[in-house]
């Protein structure tokens, strides 16, 4: 059985011989450097497609998929997520992780479970973890070394440094 990992989403056609615009869910521009095949989900079944060309745009990538040669051909792809086989994933530098590795991870601080990572926001300065805490409230934690003690991708556990540094309670007098 194949393991698929979400790496991007098709957001529109680009009007260039069937090419489509995609947004990457990775901070690594060369995520597509080793990838020549992708998988797209059609009605619960992953279909293998081959990449003909990929170019980096201003805020997205332009992807040309083989046998999708016109804007009309590519319409069916708009809004679809792009997956790759786990064996085709780019090997990341130490202390860098894919978003799919982070989402769903348990978050601990001071040996206490404080929540689960619900999402990762990609912001200009740094990524931010959206944590759904035990009270069902969203907490935002910057994904920077000053806040992170350790992340174990295999066990899906994020350990934060001392929690009281991050949350300031609003005292109403």
- What is the domain-level CATH number for residue 83? 2.40.30.60
Pair (52, 73) in one structural domain: yes
Higher pLDDT, 16 or 170: 16
- Tell me the pLDDT band of 2, cut-offs 50, 70 and 90: low
Cβ atoms of residues 82 and 22 within 8 Å: yes
Residue 148 belongs to domain with CATH number: 2.30.30.240
Cβ atoms of residues 146 and 127 within 8 Å: no
pLDDT averaged over every residue in the chain: 83
Q: Distance (Å, rounded) from C-alpha 14 to C-alpha 7? A: 19
Pair (83, 104) in one structural domain: no
Residue 69 placed within a domain: yes
Write the DSSP symbol of residue 66. Answer: T
- Tell me the pLDDT band of 108, cut-offs 50, 70 and 90: very high
> 123 to each of 127, 135, 143, how far by Cα in Å?
5, 26, 10
Give residue 64's domain range: 4-87
Does the pLDDT at position 28 exceed 60?
no
84-116 burial by CB neighbour count: b if 16+ within 10 A, else e? bbeebbeeeeeeebbbbbbbebbbbbeeeebbb
Cβ atoms of residues 31 and 24 within 8 Å: yes
- Average pLDDT over every residue of 61-78: 92
């Amino acid at each position: 059985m194949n393991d698929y990992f979400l790496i991007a989403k098709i957001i529109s056609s680009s009007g260039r011989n069937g090419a489509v615009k995609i947004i990457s869910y990775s901070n690594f521009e060369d995520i597509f450097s080793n990838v020549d095949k992708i998988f797209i989900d059609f009605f619960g079944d992953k279909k293998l497609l081959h990449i003909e060309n990929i170019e980096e745009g201003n805020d997205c990538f332009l992807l040309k998929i083989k046998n999708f040669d016109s804007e009309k051909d590519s319409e069916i792809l708009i809004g679809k997520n792009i997956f790759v086989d786990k064996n085709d994933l780019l090997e990341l530098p130490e202390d860098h992780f894919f978003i799919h590795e982070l989402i769903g991870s348990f978050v601990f601080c001071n040996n206490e479970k404080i929540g689960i990572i619900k999402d990762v926001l990609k912001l200009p300065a740094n990524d931010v973890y959206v944590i759904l805490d035990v009270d069902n409230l969203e907490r935002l934690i910057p994904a920077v070394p000053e806040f992170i003690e350790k992340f174990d991708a295999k066990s899906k556990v994020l350990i934060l440094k001392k929690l009281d540094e991050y949350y300031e309670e609003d005292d109403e007098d």
